[in-house]
Structure formats: C-alpha cells, structure tokens
Amino acid sequence: MGATTTIKYEPVIGLEIHAELLTNTKMFCRCPVVDPTISPPNTAVCVVCTGQPGVLPVINKRAVEYAIMVGLALNCEIRETSIFARKNYFYPDLPKGYQISQYEYPLCINGWLDIELENGQTKRIGIRRAHLEEDTAKNTHLNDGTSLIDFNRSGVALLEIVTEPDLRSAEEVEAFARKLRAILQYLGVNNGDMSKGVLRMEPNISVRPIGSDELWTRTEVKNLNSIRNVARATAYEIERQISTYESGGQVIQQTMGWDELRQITVPQRGKEDAHDYRYFPEPDLPPLQVSHEWIEEIRAKMPELPDVKRQRYMDELGLGEYDASVLVADRAIAEWFELAVSEGGDPKNLANWIIVEMFRLMNKDGLEREQISEIKIQPAQLVALIKLVEDRIINNNTAKKVLATMYAEGGDPVEIVKAQGLAQETDSSVLQAAIEQVLDENPDEVQRWLNGEEKVEKFLFGQVMRALKGKADAQILGPLLNTALRNRHE
Ligand SMILES: [Zn+2]
C-alpha cells in the first residue's frame, strides 16, 4: 500500500429522496398541512397524528394520486395493489412508536430517469422504488438541554424515492437531483425547497476499484439543505473514502452530516446504527388498490414535463438545445419565458436576453435562476425592451443599461428611455457634426488612417460614440464616419 498503489477508484452512488407532498391535509388524518415557518407549533394536530390509542388512519386519496403522478413521470410500474407497513422504532418525534410506510410492496417500482451530462451525453438512472409514508414530528434541541417537539409535521404525506446505485460522480448526482426536483415542481406535488426540508436528498456513497463489480462499504450523508451541498458533500465524501483506502485505512459504514462552514462531512450521531425495524403489514389499513382506469386517468392529465417541453421549444420555437435545456430546467423559468413569448416576444431573442443578461444580473445579486418570478422585471417589460432595440430606438448597449435599471428599480423600459433621454441619435446632421469635431480633434489618427492604417477607424468610431454618450445609431454612424474620413483625402 502507500505511495506505490496505482488503484483507480470509481464512486458508486445511490440517492434516497424524501418529498413532502403538497396535499391540503395530512397522509392519514384531516389535519391541514401548514408551513412550519409560519404556523405556531402544535396547532395542526389531532388524535391520529399525535398517536393516541384507539384511533384509525384513513388514506389520503390526493397523496396517492400525487405519488402515482411521480411514479409515471419516473417511468415506474404502478402496482395496482400495494401494502402499507409499520416501521417500528422508538424516537421522540414518532408518537405512535412506528411510522406507517411501505416496505415489501411499494406503490411504484422499476422506473428510470434520463439525465443530461455536461459532455452532452445522456445517462439512464434506475429508480428502484417510490412509496408513500408519513413524515415525523420535528425536534428542536435547545442549548440548555431541553428539547421541543412540533407535531405539525407529524403525519404529513411523504414520498420516498430510491434510485439504483447507478450514479458515478458528484456531477451526475447534481444533474439527477436538479432534474428530479424540476419534475416534482412541474407536477406541482412539491415546491422543491430544500432549505425548509420539504425536499430532502441523501446520497449513499461508496468507492471501488474500477473494473470491480463488488460493492464496498458505503456511507450515507444527511442534512443537506441545497442541491449544491448534495453535490459538494458527495464530491468530498468520494475523496475522503479514496484517501482513506490509499492511506491503508478502512471506510466505516456510518451516517455522515455535512458541515457547511468547514465544507466537510462529519460522522453523525443519532439513531442507533443497527436498525431492526420489524416491518409488518399495517393492520389498520387494507391493501391500497388503484385501478388501471384511475392510473390512466392520472396519466392523461399530467402536465408537460421538462424533456417534452425542451423538445417542443426546439421544434416549435426554434431554440437550440442549450437554450431549451436551460429554460426548462426549472418550472418557474419556463413559465416566465412562456409568458414573455405569449406577450409577442421572439423566442430566440428572449432566450438570449434571459439566459445571458437577466441571469447575469440575478447571479450578481446572489439569486438562483429559479427565483426569476421574484425579480422586478415583468415578462412583458422584457418584450418591450427588446422591441426598442428592434425598432432601433436604442442600441444593444443602452438596452443592457436599461435592463439593469429595470432590474434594480422596476419600471417600464419605454418610460426609462424617455426619462433618461436614452433614445438613439439617428439625426445624421447631429452625427455629422460630432464626427467632424472628433476628426478635427484627432489629426494624427486621421493621418494614420489616410496612410492606410484601417484599424484607427474603430478608435475614431468609439470617440464619436463617446461624444454622443453611447447613443449614436451605429448602423448610421459607421458609413457616415467612413465617408467623412475619405473626404479628408482632398
Ligand atoms: Zn392529525
């Protein structure tokens, strides 16, 4: 071992995803699902979701419908009969002493999802299962040693999705995570907010020598509050495991947490590691039956998903693959773009302005792309701005400045151009006067141009543009300047 080893490793990664479903009520009772950051603790609870003796759970039909939608979107087989099971363990956030989940007979099995990688290739990731369960309550541990429990989350419908260990890099994990989140958002079954824990993704990671088909010891990483952190933690954990083996050590099977401050994974204490959940079929619930007709009914009303939308943007709107991929990557972006198109904007122009200029402004501001609906610029206003350029009222550079004003303060581009006097100067007598003045002020450059140094023309163009505060209509200015220079021959 040591410095002479030349083993090359490959990571083997699977993802376990928990998505709270956006149903109005909880999985097995009629308590409303509330936003934990708004509603006071323990205000949305009843005898069922606090685990009182003698109560009976009732399955939330909407939750089943949502789970089937996700299963269909992930190309799963939907079981017409699935079975709820008790997963027994004791923990303060679990009042019944067990969680109702699905174990041997989950609702959705054997699916797949294609992800697009940066090298332009597509990779198919297997989906082992997706099943329904209920969320636990939420513990808050205070510094003085007391712990508080909020049962508002107890019993909220939860969909657990488990992939096959088909992922081979942090990049693939990130691509999968982004695409899965987009699908959940498109379906309207989850809002994708990982920072609030309504969507949780936990990678399990091992490495092995390339060429081997053994599975080596794996670790699991929890408490990841963004997709970026899922990718970072995965990359870190891969490196940690490889360097552990390379230095002669062994990877221990354990649960890790992500220390965001130090950007490292750390062993996490928590529930005992040797789990024996003693699963058995839930005696209070009959097997879950879903008819073929109902599944087909759900399939028929599924919204357009990212892959189909991307193809449509390419086929019908004439977008390139890159632009189309960026715009469909998040439901909020696609909706914003489609609103702008419906306002009469040219799709290609819009895609360009959104992806290059608007995302640059948002990025500078620390906003994620999917926060597009929160910015001050409205779709119709971007369309109006582009029209000002097409009508040659303003040039491209001025338009970028107007966009920055719209972004910072909001407002209508036509008004901004008027108020700030930004309209393009198209009056050729004004342009002519500015040209003559600049040529008079730069006799050396004019002489160099006359001696055949053509590139000086660009400099002089810039000077005239500057004299006119960047507002000259370049398409008129160019030929006028050239003629003026030629006239200096005489
Ligand atoms: Zn309840």
Q: pLDDT digits over 350-388, tens only?
A: 999 999 999 999 999 999 898 999 999 999 999 999 999
Question: What's the token pair of residue 88?
Answer: 């027994």
pTM above 0.75, yes or no: yes
Do 229 and 109 reside in the same domain of the chain?
A: yes
Residue 169 clears pLDDT 80, i.e. is over it:
yes
Q: How far is the CA of 483 from the centre of ligand 1 (A)?
A: 82
pLDDT given for residue 237 in this prediction: 97
Q: How far apart are CA 203 and CA 367, in angstroms?
A: 26
Q: How far is the CA of 289 from the centre of ligand 1 (A)?
A: 23
Do 163 and 55 reside in the same domain of the chain?
A: yes
Do 290 and 349 reside in the same domain of the chain?
A: no
478 contacts: CB under 8 Å, gap ≥ 6: 461
Lowest mean pLDDT among 316-320, 365-369, 421-425: 421-425
- The pLDDT-based confidence of 276 (bands split at 50, 70, 90) is confident
Do 69 and 44 reside in the same domain of the chain?
A: yes
Q: How far is the CA of 69 from the centre of ligand 1 (A)?
A: 25
- The pLDDT-based confidence of 119 (bands split at 50, 70, 90) is confident
Q: How far is the CA of 339 from the centre of ligand 1 (A)?
A: 39
Number of structural domains in the chain? 3
pLDDT given for residue 471 in this prediction: 85
Q: Where a domain ends, among 368, 387, 419?
A: 419
Do 173 and 309 reside in the same domain of the chain?
A: no
Residue 273 clears pLDDT 80, i.e. is over it:
no
Do 91 and 240 reside in the same domain of the chain?
A: yes
CB 149 within 8 A of CB 137: yes
Q: pLDDT digits over 133-148, tens only?
A: 999 999 998 999 999 9
Do 412 and 433 reside in the same domain of the chain?
A: no
Q: How far is the CA of 433 from the centre of ligand 1 (A)?
A: 79
CB 242 within 8 A of CB 181: no
What's the domain range around 361? 304-419
Do 85 and 196 reside in the same domain of the chain?
A: yes
Residue 261 clears pLDDT 70, i.e. is over it:
yes
Q: How far is the CA of 53 from the centre of ligand 1 (A)?
A: 13
- The pLDDT-based confidence of 5 (bands split at 50, 70, 90) is low
Output the domain CATH number for residue 456: 1.10.10.410
Q: How far is the CA of 18 from the centre of ligand 1 (A)?
A: 20
Q: How far is the CA of 461 from the centre of ligand 1 (A)?
A: 73
Q: How far is the CA of 66 from the centre of ligand 1 (A)?
A: 20
Q: How far is the CA of 28 from the centre of ligand 1 (A)?
A: 7
CB 29 within 8 A of CB 217: no
| For range 4-13, the mean pLDDT | 84
pLDDT given for residue 475 in this prediction: 87
Ion ligand 1 neighbours (CB, 5 A) are 29, 31, 46, 48-49
CB 287 within 8 A of CB 80: no
Q: Is the dihedral of CA 102, 104, 107, 112 positive or negative?
A: positive
Q: How far is the CA of 87 from the centre of ligand 1 (A)?
A: 19
Q: Where a domain ends, among 389, 419, 449?
A: 419
Q: Where a domain ends, among 419, 443, 463?
A: 419
Highest mean pLDDT (candidates 271-285, 339-353, 476-490): 339-353
Q: How far apart are CA 45 and CA 33, in angstroms?
A: 10
pLDDT given for residue 266 in this prediction: 94
Residue 474 clears pLDDT 90, i.e. is over it:
no
Q: How far is the CA of 237 from the centre of ligand 1 (A)?
A: 39
pLDDT given for residue 473 in this prediction: 87
Q: How far is the CA of 44 from the centre of ligand 1 (A)?
A: 7
Q: How far is the CA of 169 from the centre of ligand 1 (A)?
A: 41
Q: How far is the CA of 50 from the centre of ligand 1 (A)?
A: 7
Q: How far apart are CA 115 and CA 231, in angstroms?
A: 15
Question: What's the token pair of residue 98?
Answer: 């067990």
Q: How far is the CA of 51 from the centre of ligand 1 (A)?
A: 9
Q: How far is the CA of 89 from the centre of ligand 1 (A)?
A: 20
Do 90 and 65 reside in the same domain of the chain?
A: yes
pLDDT given for residue 456 in this prediction: 93
Do 384 and 245 reside in the same domain of the chain?
A: no
Q: pLDDT digits over 54-107, tens only?
A: 999 999 999 999 999 999 999 999 999 999 999 999 888 999 999 999 999 999
Q: How many other CB atoms are found less than 10 A from the CB of residue 360? A: 14
pLDDT given for residue 19 in this prediction: 98
Q: pLDDT digits over 204-213, tens only?
A: 999 999 999 9
Q: How far is the CA of 192 from the centre of ligand 1 (A)?
A: 24
Q: pLDDT digits over 448-461, tens only?
A: 999 999 899 999 99
Closest CA to 1 of 194, 203, 250: 250
Q: pLDDT digits over 17-48, tens only?
A: 999 999 999 999 999 999 878 999 999 999 99
pLDDT given for residue 113 in this prediction: 98
Q: How far is the CA of 78 from the centre of ligand 1 (A)?
A: 28
Q: How far is the CA of 29 from the centre of ligand 1 (A)?
A: 5
Do 116 and 261 reside in the same domain of the chain?
A: yes
pLDDT given for residue 1 in this prediction: 47
Q: How far is the CA of 184 from the centre of ligand 1 (A)?
A: 25
Residue 4 clears pLDDT 70, i.e. is over it:
no
Do 168 and 124 reside in the same domain of the chain?
A: yes
Determine phi and psi for 208, rounding to 5 degrees. Answer: -155, 160
Distance of CA 237 to the CA centre of its chain: 22
pLDDT given for residue 269 in this prediction: 66
Q: How far is the CA of 298 from the centre of ligand 1 (A)?
A: 27
Q: How far is the CA of 447 from the centre of ligand 1 (A)?
A: 87
* Mean residue pLDDT across the chain: 93
HEC letters along 205-265? EEEEECCCCCCCCCEEEECCCCHHHHHHHHHHHHHHHHHHHHCCCCCCCCEEEEECCCCEE
- The pLDDT-based confidence of 426 (bands split at 50, 70, 90) is confident
